Structure 1
Amino acid sequence: MESLLEVSDAGLVAAVNAFERGRGWAKAAPLPWYAVRVKSNFEWVTATMLRDKGFQEFLPVYRAKVRWSDRVKETEKPLFPGYVFCRFEAEQKLPIISTPGVVQVVGVGKQPVPIDDQEMDAIRKVVRSGGPSMPWPYLQVGERVLVEKGPLKGMEGILVQVKSKCRIVVTISLLHRGIAAEVERDWVRPVPGSPSSSSHRI
């Protein structure tokens, strides 16, 4: 009798393992990203407090040179000044708006509007790449390209040219703001259907 129970238990475990490998257990969808408007120079303070409350926050920064009276110092600055990105349920925004430094959650009226997932993925990919990046004016027109090589491989954006350097601009439509990251010209190819104008020259 004992051996039959052992076989039965072993069969049950095997069946469960097979189910997990084949179909997997249902996973909860990740919470949407929202743009949180904060007071000037409160980006780091607010981001830290949101993290301490248990929220997943994201404060994208870039390295910039600041000239002082006697020297030039390199420091970190927000890529989107005045904003911190955070994941949460829209119906449970009270802990967000009660955080020191928060002005509002970006949306329509009092209803928060989530950031497009592809736009957030692109911004996070630029930051993770570790390459040079900087804030950039929002662009709606230009040659849309796909990066085929380098740390930004697989990302789409708008190609601009500054002197001899090429940059790919990715934007957050809801904020009408963007950032630019440097790429090699032979790393990108046009996306079918993009405007025929080759690039913006600045």
Structure 2
Amino acid sequence: MSIIPLSAHAESEVVSQWFAVYTTSRHEKAIAEHFALRKIESFLPLYRTQRLWKNGCRMDLQLPLFPSYIFVRIRSLERVRVLEVPGVLSLVSAAGKPVPLPEPEIEALRSSLPLVKCEPHPYLVIGDRVRIKSGSLEGMEGVLLRKKGFLRVVLSLDLIMKSLAVEVDADNVEPVPTFARHKLA
């Protein structure tokens, strides 16, 4: 009897891997409960926040860290079970195939979230146009240059064709929506 090694494709169908599930907005907790009822291993990262309502009441809340996303650990063959859950829109895919997430990334999230204070932040990529939200440069727009430590943003004064680089805290910048971007020419 000889042992035939599994191909990478066949192995991915047998081994459980983490996948990102795109869900209906604000239904993440209910969907996570459905996964538990169906014995599908899932992970919904939550963060704690406090909201102040109009009536002056403060409320402690646990909200999804990644709105509209839940992670599931399944074999590739089980994806139909996930897609049958009410509120699940799709598995995050590339070229029509669900893409597994690196196990160390999910495990790092699972182990560190209870130990650190965190909250969602807009996804920023070097080269993105960003706007400074507060301080003496409030409202200025520029291009994100670096993400180590403080963010380095290049602000341009188009009229005099000069630029300056400033370092700002990540909490003090927001992405400029594509439709609101100024003409760069």
Residue 31 and residue 197 in structure 1: after superposition, are their counterparts in 2 closer, same or farther (change >3 A)? closer
Q: Secondary structure at the match of 2:31?
A: helix
Residue 77 and residue 198 in structure 1: after superposition, are their counterparts in 2 closer, same or farther (change >3 A)? closer
Aligned with 2:31 (options 46, 50, 56): 46
Residues 28-47 of structure 1 correspond to what in structure 2 (within 5 A)? Answer: 31-47=16-32
Residues 13-162 of structure 1 correspond to what in structure 2 (within 5 A)? Answer: 31-70=16-55, 71-129=57-115, 131-139=116-124
Runs (5+) with no aligned partner, structure 1: 1-28, 142-162, 164-194
Residue 120 and residue 197 in structure 1: after superposition, are their counterparts in 2 closer, same or farther (change >3 A)? closer
Percent of counterpart pairs with the same letter? 27
Residue 196 and residue 87 in structure 1: after superposition, are their counterparts in 2 closer, same or farther (change >3 A)? closer
Normalised by the size of structure 2, how large is the TM-score?
0.59
TM-superposed deviation, 1:105: 0.4
TM-superposed deviation, 1:139: 4.7
Contact 2:47 2:63 in 1 (8 A): yes
**Cα distance in structure 1, aligned partners of 2:75 and 2:121:** 29
Residue 91 and residue 30 in structure 1: after superposition, are their counterparts in 2 closer, same or farther (change >3 A)? closer
Larger radius of gyration: 1
Contact 2:15 2:75 in 1 (8 A): no
Q: Secondary structure at the match of 1:104?
A: strand
Contact 2:49 2:63 in 1 (8 A): yes
Q: Secondary structure at the match of 2:101?
A: coil
- Give a deviation string over 1:135-183, Cα, whole Å, max 9, x none: 1233556xxxxxxxxxxxxxxxxxxxxx9xxxxxxxxxxxxxxxxxxxx
Aligned partner of 2:164 in structure 1 is: none
TM-superposed deviation, 1:96: 0.4
Normalised by the size of structure 1, how large is the TM-score?
0.54
Runs (5+) with no aligned partner, structure 2: 1-13, 127-134, 136-145, 152-167, 170-185
Aligned length in residues: 121
